[in-house]
């Protein structure tokens, strides 16, 4: 019985993705099969997990498998699984839409990359295009699926030629699971024949050998005809055929759980294929960690660091990549309990034979064994990163730096270790990245603190007037232009025994006061403060400035200007913190303003100068003027006067 057929348009982003896949990945067509087999294996994983609490779901079909059927006559390739299947709504949601948030931005990025001729499979690989990759080889795909536990009339048939729309209707499917039929495109001269069983066998061996469920195919074979069935002549010699062709179902993959194998027996290629299967990432991993722990608790761990950050790294709903197994049986994917957020890029498998199998997620969090594994995993991953070669680490940091730095304020036990993995540009580093260890090593003999400054623009930071005196003394300053740095610096008060100090807060040189000079400026500063009452909490002599005339700073525990900006951008209303206007007593213009003030306290220009000094400080830090038009007009008038004189 078939239901009414409905036709739906693909969402725009699906159409864009399809175009991208078809146009950019065809040199590596065969991996569509890996993607479909991975999906099938995931669907079985999901059912297996669910059946732990609902054993009835397995019905009379308890043996999991994936079946591949190439057919040269109809030019089709069929991939079937008896996994969890999909309901009508799930098909609508999963196939034909891309539900992942951030897709639009991702596509925008791809578009830009494309115009710069740098669109590579790496980029699209970040996305994990999965199912749609089958349109590289098929001009029509039919998917029939029946969700576990639903009556057969609620099966669903989905079909599309990948050209913008798909048909969907209720259908009948005898057994649970999903069958995907690819109607193969006409093969070009050099292209692979995906109905050739040897080709299929090779592709499965190469990309999917370790899939945990049998991947079966009907294989045509020649077998010897048994002796008693042979036709023989009078001398007992066989006449005619001695072999016959039969079709036999064969399991193609070895299903080896590679994490449980000794390292020496696994080659790089196999490690890489396993990673791709597991992560749905198309790029090879940057590094891996494979270890067996023996002792009071035993477990295997095979972890990977990807080479590229997924495009949705900062989407809260994205999945973590560590799968939990028990004695080689899949328990759950996305095991957040094993991996802290700041290592959410790590992919891999943990297999713990002693795990209590009736775990629920809530219990898992408090499970002693799980906590033990988590601690060890964190330690090993941080060690692995510490030991990467500098050029590899640089690649890692460019992708995941902002993520790992989250650990500085979320993992108090590992704070210093994680801080040692952070890298910064500095006032002296040029294009290089500098670690805190290097910074400390290069400190000036009289320098006691580690200086840093935060903001959103490296260029503005490096030129900030707040750094003039520090630069003059040859003190290096860390330039922190990443929002997470703000949070990190609120937790990291010292490193290697040296206090960290913001260049925009508190006193830089409390003991170097020129009190006589300060006294001379006291009255003028009081006047300026009066003019700027609503804007600043204090006007004072600066110990930061050398060339510039004005800057804004904060007290030691004030929120930084950048933090205020971040919070506002996130739609929050941080408490208004008035800042301190610092003025450079050594700047000639300050002496002139003071002279004018002393001569004629009523002079109206003094008010303008006060406002201008404040505006100059705002402009210097890349801030927004309250009244840019007034600023521009005043400066224009002054230029006129200056040139006239």
Q: Are 538 and 608 in contact (CB under 8 A)?
A: no
Task: Decide: is 505 part of the binding site for ligand ADP (CB under 6 A).
Answer: no
Task: Decide: is 43 part of the binding site for ligand ADP (CB under 6 A).
Answer: yes
Please say which residue, 21 or 343, places its beta carbon nearer to ligand ADP: 21
Please say which residue, 127 or 210, places its beta carbon nearer to ligand ADP: 127
* Residue whose CB is nearest to ligand ADP in the complex, by number: 130
Task: Decide: is 320 part of the binding site for ligand ADP (CB under 6 A).
Answer: no
Could you give the C-alpha distances from 25 to 29, 129, 130, 420, in angstroms and in order? 7, 11, 12, 39
Please say which residue, 66 or 618, places its beta carbon nearer to ligand ADP: 66
CA 422 – CA 417 distance, rounded (Å):
9
Three-state DSSP class for residue 593: helix
Task: Decide: is 86 part of the binding site for ligand ADP (CB under 6 A).
Answer: yes
Burial 82-117 (b: 16+ CB within 10 A, else e): bbbbbbbeebbebbbebebebbeebbeebeeeeeee
Shortest distance, CB of residue 24 to ligand ADP, whole angstroms? 17
Give the tokens for residue 323: 């799968």
Task: Decide: is 149 part of the binding site for ligand ADP (CB under 6 A).
Answer: no
Distance of alpha carbon 565 from the chain centroid: 24
Shortest distance, CB of residue 36 to ligand ADP, whole angstroms? 7
Task: Decide: is 178 part of the binding site for ligand ADP (CB under 6 A).
Answer: yes
Task: Decide: is 561 part of the binding site for ligand ADP (CB under 6 A).
Answer: no
Shortest distance, CB of residue 333 to ligand ADP, whole angstroms? 11
Of the candidate spans 55-63, 128-136, 226-234, 548-556, the one that interacts with ligand ADP by CB under 6 A turns out to be: 128-136
Q: Are 87 and 154 in contact (CB under 8 A)?
A: yes
Shortest distance, CB of residue 181 to ligand ADP, whole angstroms? 12
Binding test (CB under 6 A) with ligand ADP, winner from 25, 67, 77, 81: 81
Please say which residue, 310 or 483, places its beta carbon nearer to ligand ADP: 310
Residue 85 gets the label, from left (phi > 0), alpha (psi -120 to 50) or beta, of left
Which residues have CB under 8 Å from 218's CB, separation 6+?
Answer: 69, 247, 248, 249, 250
12: enclosing H helix or E strand:
helix 12-24
Shortest distance, CB of residue 180 to ligand ADP, whole angstroms? 7
Task: Decide: is 94 part of the binding site for ligand ADP (CB under 6 A).
Answer: yes
Q: Are 433 and 397 in contact (CB under 8 A)?
A: yes
Give the tokens for residue 525: 């500063």
Please say which residue, 132 or 409, places its beta carbon nearer to ligand ADP: 132
Of the candidate spans 23-31, 84-92, 422-430, 512-520, the one that interacts with ligand ADP by CB under 6 A turns out to be: 84-92
Of the candidate spans 130-138, 291-299, 318-326, 436-444, the one that interacts with ligand ADP by CB under 6 A turns out to be: 130-138
Burial 491-504 (b: 16+ CB within 10 A, else e): ebeebeeeebbbbb
Please say which residue, 85 or 483, places its beta carbon nearer to ligand ADP: 85
Please say which residue, 177 or 340, places its beta carbon nearer to ligand ADP: 177
Task: Decide: is 434 part of the binding site for ligand ADP (CB under 6 A).
Answer: no
Shortest distance, CB of residue 309 to ligand ADP, whole angstroms? 16
Which residues have CB under 8 Å from 266's CB, separation 6+?
Answer: 258, 290
Task: Decide: is 40 part of the binding site for ligand ADP (CB under 6 A).
Answer: yes
Task: Decide: is 128 part of the binding site for ligand ADP (CB under 6 A).
Answer: yes
CA 258 – CA 74 distance, rounded (Å):
37
Q: What is the DSSP letter of 306?
A: -
Please say which residue, 83 or 402, places its beta carbon nearer to ligand ADP: 83
Shortest distance, CB of residue 37 to ligand ADP, whole angstroms? 9
Task: Decide: is 131 part of the binding site for ligand ADP (CB under 6 A).
Answer: yes
Task: Decide: is 39 part of the binding site for ligand ADP (CB under 6 A).
Answer: yes
Three-state DSSP class for residue 85: coil
CA 193 – CA 174 distance, rounded (Å):
30
CA 285 – CA 114 distance, rounded (Å):
24
Q: Are 83 and 40 in contact (CB under 8 A)?
A: yes
Query: DSSP strand E in 255-346: where?
Result: 287-293, 299-305, 321-326, 329-332
In terms of Cα–Cα distance, which of 212, 478, 413 is closest to 329? 212
Q: How many residues bind ligand ADP (CB under 6 A)?
A: 16
* Beta partners for residue 500, in sequence order: 450
Shortest distance, CB of residue 39 to ligand ADP, whole angstroms? 3
DSSP state letters, 233-268:
-TTS-B-S-SEEEEEEEEE------GGGS-GGG--H
Task: Decide: is 502 part of the binding site for ligand ADP (CB under 6 A).
Answer: no
Binding test (CB under 6 A) with ligand ADP, winner from 31, 67, 76, 83: 83
Shortest distance, CB of residue 268 to ligand ADP, whole angstroms? 25
Shortest distance, CB of residue 38 to ligand ADP, whole angstroms? 7
In terms of Cα–Cα distance, which of 546, 574, 573, 539 is closest to 560? 574
Of the candidate spans 35-43, 161-169, 230-238, 554-562, the one that interacts with ligand ADP by CB under 6 A turns out to be: 35-43
Binding test (CB under 6 A) with ligand ADP, winner from 125, 130, 162, 306: 130
Residue 315 gets the label, from left (phi > 0), alpha (psi -120 to 50) or beta, of beta
Site for ligand ADP in 254-293 (CB under 6 A): 280
Task: Decide: is 527 part of the binding site for ligand ADP (CB under 6 A).
Answer: no
Shortest distance, CB of residue 65 to ligand ADP, whole angstroms? 13
Residues that bind ligand ADP (CB under 6 A): 39-40, 43, 81, 83-86, 94-95, 128, 130-132, 178, 280
């Amino acid at each position: 019985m078939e239901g009414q057929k409905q036709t739906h348009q693909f969402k725009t982003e699906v159409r864009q993705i399809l175009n991208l896949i078809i146009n950019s990945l065809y040199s590596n067509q065969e991996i569509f099969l890996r993607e479909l087999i991975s999906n099938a294996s995931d669907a079985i994983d999901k059912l297996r997990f669910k059946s732990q609490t609902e054993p009835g779901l397995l019905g009379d079909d308890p043996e999991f498998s994936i079946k591949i059927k190439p057919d040269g006559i109809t030019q089709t390739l069929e991939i079937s699984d008896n996994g969890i299947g999909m309901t009508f709504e799930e098909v609508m949601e999963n196939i034909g839409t891309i539900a992942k948030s951030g897709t639009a931005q991702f596509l925008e990025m791809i578009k830009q990359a494309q115009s710069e001729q740098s669109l590579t499979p790496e980029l699209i690989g970040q996305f994990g295009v999965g199912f749609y990759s089958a349109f590289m080889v098929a001009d029509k795909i039919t998917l029939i699926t029946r969700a576990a536990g639903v009556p057969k009339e609620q099966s669903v048939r989905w079909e599309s030629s990948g050209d913008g729309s798909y048909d969907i209707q209720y259908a009948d499917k005898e057994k649970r699971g999903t069958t995907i039929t690819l109607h193969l495109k006409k093969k070009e001269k050099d292209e692979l024949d995906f109905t050739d069983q040897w080709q299929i066998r090779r592709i499965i061996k190469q990309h999917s050998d370790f899939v945990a469920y049998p991947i079966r195919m009907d294989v045509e074979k020649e077998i010897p005809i048994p002796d008693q069935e042979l036709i023989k002549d009078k001398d007992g010699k066989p006449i005619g055929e001695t072999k016959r062709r039969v079709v036999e179902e064969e399991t193609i993959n070895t299903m080896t759980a590679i994490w449980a194998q000794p390292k020496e027996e696994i080659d790089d290629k196999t490690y890489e294929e396993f990673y791709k299967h597991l992560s749905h990432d198309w790029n090879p991993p940057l590094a891996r960690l494979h270890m067996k722990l023996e002792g009071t608790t035993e477990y295997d761990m095979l972890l990977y660091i990807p080479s590229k950050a997924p495009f949705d790294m900062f989407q809260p709903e994205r999945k973590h990549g560590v799968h939990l197994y028990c004695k080689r049986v899949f328990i759950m994917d996305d095991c957040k309990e094993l991996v802290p957020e700041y290592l959410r890029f790590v992919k891999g498998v943990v297999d713990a034979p002693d795990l209590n199998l009736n775990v629920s997620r809530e219990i898992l969090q408090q499970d002693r064994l799980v906590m033990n594994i988590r601690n060890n995993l964190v330690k090993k991953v941080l060690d692995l990163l510490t030991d990467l070669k500098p050029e590899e680490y640089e690649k890692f940091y460019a992708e995941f730096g902002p993520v790992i730095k989250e650990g500085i304020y979320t993992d108090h036990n590992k704070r210093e270790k994680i801080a040692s993995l952070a890298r910064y540009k500095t006032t002296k580093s040029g294009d290089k990245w500098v670690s805190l260890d290097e910074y400390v090593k290069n400190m000036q003999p009289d320098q006691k603190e580690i200086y840093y400054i935060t903001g959103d623009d490296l260029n503005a930071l490096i030129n900030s007037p707040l750094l003039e005196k520090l630069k003059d003394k040859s003190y290096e300053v860390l330039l922190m232009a990443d929002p997470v740095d703000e949070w990190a610096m609120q937790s990291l008060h010292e490193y290697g025994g040296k206090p960290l100090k913001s260049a925009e807060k508190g006193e830089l040189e409390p003991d170097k006061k020129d009190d006589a000079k300060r006294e001379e400026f006291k009255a003028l500063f009081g006047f300026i403060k009066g003019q700027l009452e609503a804007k600043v909490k204090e006007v004072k002599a600066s110990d930061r400035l050398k060339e510039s005339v004005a800057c804004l700073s904060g007290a030691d525990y004030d929120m930084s200007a950048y933090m205020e900006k971040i919070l506002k951008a996130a739609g929050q209303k941080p408490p208004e913190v008035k800042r301190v206007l610092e003025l450079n007593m050594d700047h000639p213009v300050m002496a002139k303003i003071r002279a004018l003030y002393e001569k004629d306290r009523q002079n109206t220009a003094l008010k303008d100068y006060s406002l201008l000094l404040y505006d100059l400080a705002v402009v210097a830090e890349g801030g927004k003027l309250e009244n840019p038009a007034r600023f521009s007009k005043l400066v224009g008038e002054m230029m006129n006067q200056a040139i006239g004189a």
